[in-house]
Amino acid sequence: MRARPVILHLDLDAFFTAVEQLHKPSLRGKPVVVGGVRGRGVVSTASYEARVFGIRSAMPTAEARRRCPNAAFLSPRFEAYRDASHAVMDLVRELTPLVEQVSIDEAYLDLTPQHPQADVGLVGELVGGLRARIQARTGLTASVGAGTSKLVAKIHSDLAKPDGQIVVPPGEEAERLAPMAVRAIPGVGPATAARLTAHGIATVGRLAALDLDEVVALLGKAHGTQLHAFARGEDDREVVTERAAKSVSAESTFETDVTDRVRLAEHVRRLTDRVGERLRADGLSGRTVVLKARRHDFSTLTRSTTLDQPTDADAVVLRQALRLLDGLDVADGLRLLGVGVSGLSLYTQPDLLDGLLDDRPGPVRTGTVEDDDEFVRPDAGGGALPVEEPAGPGDEAPAADQPAPRSPWRPGQDVEHVEHGRGWVQGSGVGRVTVRFEGPNTEVGRIRTFAEDDPDLTPADPPVWQPEDAADEAAGS
């Protein structure tokens, strides 16, 4: 806990619907619901006008329609929301560089660098100025809580909604929290609240009065310890500006439950494509492939398998995901399928290059080699090495007991034909080899082909690869 109320939590009010009302004036002042508009959709955001009818986030859209048939029901337009979010976060970063964006419409700020001595009055002025600028420049309203910790800031941005702000004076944390319902603490959901209530603990004050041992016995070590501290207003968490992704996944719910394995397999392939595209666009590869299934009764299963080497190749992920699907009983029907990859690593891990760098170290480049590229493996005497074809959509799924074919490439191998730098095989998968580059005139990006005569690789005309190119390419353009 800090001595001064320098931690802020900013939350945009009814963000998705606010953007829609901004773009379409006829929606202003009317009930608007953004979410899944089809059969099994749920509400993402309800405008304040729609909340009057009892419509809430996560409510089935069908229920929302019953409550307010005349509301506008819109599918989300994430690109518009991302643009608006960027505009807001740019303004936020003018106040402090210590910004932790936790979702598209929420961020924590730490004012310490600019205003280490800020008091309640100054913080109130700064927050008021920020909110006014956000409204003037984007048309959106934001609510802000401020205090000595993330916990206090977060709880009070909620209380300030809509279009308000609360700065909690240092020292008042515990007494303000005490009368609140336990559900007000972030991390206390329906299950934890029910468990606490069953033991007669309804308020934060009651929770704070318990011994640590009692809370841990009730809620487990990690959760119990944290909630015990939170209930007392104690929270030392830092504002973290960068956070590495831990997993990438895609999932979707069927209109009606599906039992047909052919349809399920086809769906797994589409999900795998989406995951693979995003892995490659972000320069990531992962070792663990996860298949998620939700059954007709809403129970959820996960099956996972871990590879020897990280991969970002669709064919590798697909083979594993189909194997996992084979092991599932689908006779009663599935309502959802998901594919994920975790155990992620960045292709560009500087420590792997230690001792291998050129005399003139340049920026690092990460690339992917397609199966039609010719490679010369140094220990193979200069012969071209075949790379196995990736499985096509029409290929049969391999038998469950058949081990995945291994790529002939091994991490650490040198790639000789790169003329203006050096390359090493870093990640390897069947049909796709990831190569790491170090040399002048390179930038982080994606490399499509690596034929020796590739004009992009001639020293006379050094390539300039932009991350945007990589994203476009991964998107299939």
Partner DNA sequence: TCTGGGGTCCTAGGACCC
Q: Where does this chain bind DNA (CB under 7 A)?
A: 36, 38-42, 44, 57-58, 60, 62, 102-106, 154, 186-193, 220-223, 245-253, 255, 274, 278, 287-288, 297-306, 335-336, 338, 340, 342-343
Q: Which residues contact 21 (CB under 8 A, 6 or more apart)?
A: 27, 28, 30, 32, 47
> Residue 435 carries which side chain, given as an amino acid letter?
V
Q: At what angle do helices 314-326 and 261-281 cross, to 10 degrees?
A: 150
Query: Residue 343 or residue 363: which is nearer to DNA going by CB?
Result: 343
What would the two tokens of residue 148 be?
């000595």
In whole angstroms, how close is the CB of 394 to DNA at the nearest point? Answer: 26
Which stretch of DSSP H or E encloses residue 249? strand 247-258
| Residue 251 a catalytic site member | no
Backbone angles phi, psi at 382, to 5 degrees: 95, 0
Catalytic residue among 106, 172, 214, 374: 106
In whole angstroms, how close is the CB of 215 to DNA at the nearest point? Answer: 12
Query: Residue 132 or residue 301: which is nearer to DNA going by CB?
Result: 301
Nearest CA to 280 out of 312, 245, 247 is that of 312
Nearest CA to 2 out of 175, 237, 241, 225 is that of 237
Query: Residue 184 or residue 376: which is nearer to DNA going by CB?
Result: 184
In whole angstroms, how close is the CB of 287 to DNA at the nearest point? Answer: 7
Question: Rounded to a whole number, what is the distance in angstroms from the first to the last CA of the chain?
Answer: 49
d(C-alpha 414, C-alpha 474), whole Å: 26
For residues 276 and 432, the answer to whether their CB atoms sit within 8 Å is no
What would the two tokens of residue 46 be?
């309800």
Q: Name residue, tokens 């700065």.
A: 167
For residues 7 and 148, the answer to whether their CB atoms sit within 8 Å is yes
Query: Residue 241 or residue 302: which is nearer to DNA going by CB?
Result: 302
What count of Cα atoms within 13 Å lies in the side-chain half-sphere of residue 227? 32
Query: Residue 169 or residue 186: which is nearer to DNA going by CB?
Result: 186
User: Which neighbouring-strand residues pair with 33?
Assistant: 46, 73
Pairing of β 334-346 and β 414-415: unpaired
What count of Cα atoms within 13 Å lies in the side-chain half-sphere of residue 347? 30
Query: Residue 77 or residue 223: which is nearer to DNA going by CB?
Result: 223
The helices-and-strands tally (H runs, E runs) of the chain is: 14, 16
In whole angstroms, how close is the CB of 274 to DNA at the nearest point? Answer: 7
Q: At what angle do helices 261-281 and 467-474 cross, to 10 degrees?
A: 170
In whole angstroms, how close is the CB of 28 to DNA at the nearest point? Answer: 23
Our CA angle for 96, 99, 100, nearest 5°, is: 170
In whole angstroms, how close is the CB of 45 to DNA at the nearest point? Answer: 9
Strands (E) across 104-216 are located at 106-110, 142-147, 165-167
Query: Residue 169 or residue 343: which is nearer to DNA going by CB?
Result: 343
In whole angstroms, how close is the CB of 360 to DNA at the nearest point? Answer: 35
SS3 228: helix
Query: Residue 302 or residue 402: which is nearer to DNA going by CB?
Result: 302
In whole angstroms, how close is the CB of 7 to DNA at the nearest point? Answer: 15
Question: Catalytic residue positions?
Answer: 106
